Chains A and B, each alone.
Chain A
Amino acid sequence: MLMGLYNYWVVVVLMMIGFYIVIAHGNLIKKIVGLTIFQTSVFIFYISMSKVDGGTAPILVDGVEVYSNPLPHVLILTAIVVGIATTALALALTVRIKEAYGSIEESDIQNQDNLIQDAHSQDALSKASSTDGSASQDDSSQVKHSGEN
């Protein structure tokens, strides 16, 4: 049981490691690493699944009867390409996030966003009150909104 499904155990363990890293780590690069491990485990899953016991590569030769299934291999070539594109895009986004925020830590980024959002509503508030003298009641309603936000 344990040895017969050896490949699948590896797949599941890798999958969970990758998934855990994506969820638990706040560093954007580490998240991408986790995502890549997660995807790679699926590649291994497809490749293991297509192996036929005692089968060889699917090339017609005399004396060979059993071949492994080549289709999942081809599928996984496609999936690897997709995975590379995803990783490249994620890394490019990380570079731009670093340029824009000066950090690649999730908590830093979220803090900065919250600060900006508060400043925004303050800004809109002061604009509204400076332009519209009679809008005292508007102000109070807006304070309420930004507070709830």
Chain B
Amino acid sequence: MLVHLPVLQVIVPLMAAPLCLILNRSKVVWMFALLSSAIAFFISILLLQQVMTSGTIVYELGGWEAPWGIEYRIDKLNAFLLLIISAISTVVLIAAQTSIEKEIPKDKHALFYILYLLSLTGMLGIVSTGDAFNVFVFLEISSLSAYSLIAMSRERRALWASYQYLIMGTIGATFILIGIGLMYQMTGTLNMEDLSDRLPEVTQTRTVFAAYTFIIVGVCLKLALFPLHLWLPNAYAYAPSIVTAFLAATATKVAVYLLIRFTFSVFGFSFSFTALPLQILFMLLGLLGIFVASTAAIYQTNVKHIFAYSSVAQIGYMIVGFAVSTVTGLTATLLHLFNHALMKGALFLALGAVMYRIGGVQISQFQGLGRQMPLTMAAVVVGGLSLIGVPLTVGFVSKWYLLMALVESDLWPIGILVLVGSLLAVVYVWRIVEIAYFRPALAGEPVKEAPLSFLVPIWLLVLANIYFGIDTRLSVSVAEAAAQSLFQVSALGVSQ
């Protein structure tokens, strides 16, 4: 059984999805989906333990040997990502049933859970597979179900947002497909391990450059890097609250994972960073993303929009860490992946609770909520502080590592820019806090605190925000080990 864990990780939610159709009763389906997501979470913990103690796990699907068959390859980086995705998915699912009662028509509840599980399958699959074409297939599984999840909202603008996301997402995925094709043309293999062996022989050809460029642009569309982020704000703002919480905490992280995987493991560090002006390009786009998106966030009137733009800005921080291209920089990126998932999961779930109680998340509707929904608003405050990067929250840890990486590489002017960017987060978080705490409540029915099914997952994530801000042993050690092993693999690729 233990041998099959890597594949079970993906198979469990995949098989659970169609079974939901048979159950078909909203509550039962919810329990079932929650159970299968929890199993996936449990498996990911076992996998991480196994990887940390005994190294990379290789699983051959159907017993076919690697270059011919598809293999799942779980190293420290994958195991870390699998843990983030399945943990967030499970916690978010706790609140799902309560939330969708008000946001999705009853006859579509079973379908909602099916799509949710499929989206989860896709993301887990992208992360665990060691085969380049398999990445494309899982990418489309997770994306197609994400488009439909967004379109499930009662808000009609969700349809338009979903359509735009579909067009841009498909272009991105097709770009990745072109890149994979070009790589196959040059090397005759699709296995990532094999690719990293064979690509160095042909790195000087224009085809490999084209392949890398197509893949990077495609992945950057998916991860909403600054000029390619246009699909994200509306898709997050109008999707059902649960979907926003789930996607905001996981989907872009998976794309960042792909960027790291292709750059470091497949093409190798020396090719990616010396042959192309990648460092300058990503540094510039990351910083622009931080400033433009944070400024845009300040001027939004819909609170979901505020945090959606803030997501684009946070991706900027990850990309800056990536562009530093040292072990510390990559550690900062991986830490921020983990931390941002915790923050945005908590924040968007809290917004879901507000949506549940007052039916909207316009900033004017937040008046007086500080007193009426104290626990929910406290969660927003802690999440906001974490976004800013206040000490004792996780946000501080990742920003600290990012600054260290920048200073180590003598890039301290960029460090200052990063700090200034964080101040912009103070502004948009303060706007919400001010309205929620210092304005009298709107007249009418007093608003009640969110139900327990919301408060439990929200506070689980908030406490995780604080816990991992103080006790950084787990997150930092795993992120550091993953970053180090990536650099080692890259270095090996060069010597061969």
Within 8 A of A (CB), among B176-218: 177-178, 181, 184-185
How far apart are the CA atoms of A131 and B440 in the complex, in Å? 10
Our pick among B137, B166, B443 for the contact of A131 (Cβ within 8 Å) is B443
Across chains A and B, the number of contacting residue pairs, with CB separation under 8 Å, is 99
B277 within 8 A of A: no
List, in ascending order, chain B residues with CB within 8 A of A22's CB: 167, 171
B160 within 8 A of A: yes
B206 to chain A, nearest CB (A): 13
A142 within 8 A of B: yes
B157 within 8 A of A: yes
B137:A82 contact, CB within 8 angstroms: yes
B160:A113 contact, CB within 8 angstroms: yes
How far apart are the CA atoms of A38 and B137 in the complex, in Å? 18
A interface residues with partner B (beta carbon < 8 Å) = 19, 22, 28, 31, 35, 38-39, 42, 45-46, 49, 72, 75, 78-79, 82, 85-86, 89-90, 93-94, 96-97, 100-101, 109, 113, 116, 120-121, 124-125, 127-128, 131-132, 135, 138, 142, 145-146, 148-149
B444:A131 contact, CB within 8 angstroms: yes
Our pick among B147, B184, B365 for the contact of A72 (Cβ within 8 Å) is B184
The interface size bin for chain B is 35 or more
List, in ascending order, chain B residues with CB within 8 A of A89's CB: 144, 147-148, 166
What 8 A-B pairs are tightest by C-beta distance, nearest first?
A100-B156, A131-B443, A124-B364, A82-B140, A148-B299, A93-B163, A97-B159, A49-B185
B181:A132 contact, CB within 8 angstroms: no
List, in ascending order, chain B residues with CB within 8 A of A82's CB: 136-137, 140, 144
Among B137, B151, B301, B363, which residue has the most Cβ atoms of chain A within 10 A? B301
Our pick among B166, B171, B299, B442 for the contact of A90 (Cβ within 8 Å) is B166
A86:B140 contact, CB within 8 angstroms: yes
Among A19, A89, A149, which residue has the most Cβ atoms of chain B within 10 A? A89
B453 within 8 A of A: no
Query: Chain B: interface secondary structure?
Result: helix
Our pick among A28, A38, A113 for the contact of B171 (Cβ within 8 Å) is A38
Our pick among A28, A79, A121, A125 for the contact of B163 (Cβ within 8 Å) is A28
Given contacts A38-B171, A145-B299, contact A85 B181 (CB under 8 A): no
List, in ascending order, chain B residues with CB within 8 A of A39's CB: 170, 174
B41 within 8 A of A: no
Given contacts A72-B184, A100-B159, A131-B443, contact A149 B170 (CB under 8 A): no
B159:A93 contact, CB within 8 angstroms: yes
- A–B complex contacts, Cβ < 8 Å, 27 sampled: A28-B163, A35-B170, A38-B174, A39-B170, A42-B177, A42-B181, A45-B178, A45-B181, A49-B181, A49-B184, A85-B144, A89-B144, A89-B166, A93-B151, A94-B163, A96-B151, A113-B157, A121-B364, A124-B301, A124-B364, A125-B364, A128-B367, A132-B443, A138-B439, A142-B364, A148-B299, A149-B301
How far apart are the CA atoms of A142 and B365 in the complex, in Å? 12
A128:B442 contact, CB within 8 angstroms: yes
List, in ascending order, chain B residues with CB within 8 A of A148's CB: 299
A132:B174 contact, CB within 8 angstroms: no
Q: Of all chain B residues, which has the CB nearest A78?
A: B137
List, in ascending order, chain B residues with CB within 8 A of A124's CB: 301, 362, 364-365
B305 to chain A, nearest CB (A): 9
Within 8 A of A (CB), among B134-159: 136-137, 140, 144, 147-148, 151, 156-157, 159
Within 8 A of A (CB), among B422-446: 439-440, 442-444
A120:B156 contact, CB within 8 angstroms: no
How far apart are the CA atoms of A72 and B185 in the complex, in Å? 10
B270 within 8 A of A: no
Given contacts A46-B181, A145-B299, contact A79 B136 (CB under 8 A): yes
B144:A121 contact, CB within 8 angstroms: no
A128:B364 contact, CB within 8 angstroms: yes
A47 to chain B, nearest CB (A): 10
Among A93, A131, A148, which residue has the most Cβ atoms of chain B within 10 A? A93
A97 to chain B, nearest CB (A): 5
A96:B159 contact, CB within 8 angstroms: yes
Q: Of all chain A residues, which has the CB nearest B139?
A: A82
Given contacts A45-B178, A97-B159, 7 further A-B contacts (CB under 8 A): A19-B171, A22-B167, A39-B170, A75-B133, A89-B144, A97-B163, A145-B299
B162:A93 contact, CB within 8 angstroms: yes
A133 to chain B, nearest CB (A): 10
List, in ascending order, chain A residues with CB within 8 A of B140's CB: 82, 85-86
Within 8 A of A (CB), among B339-382: 362-365, 367
Our pick among A42, A109, A120, A135 for the contact of B362 (Cβ within 8 Å) is A120
List, in ascending order, chain B residues with CB within 8 A of A127's CB: 364, 442
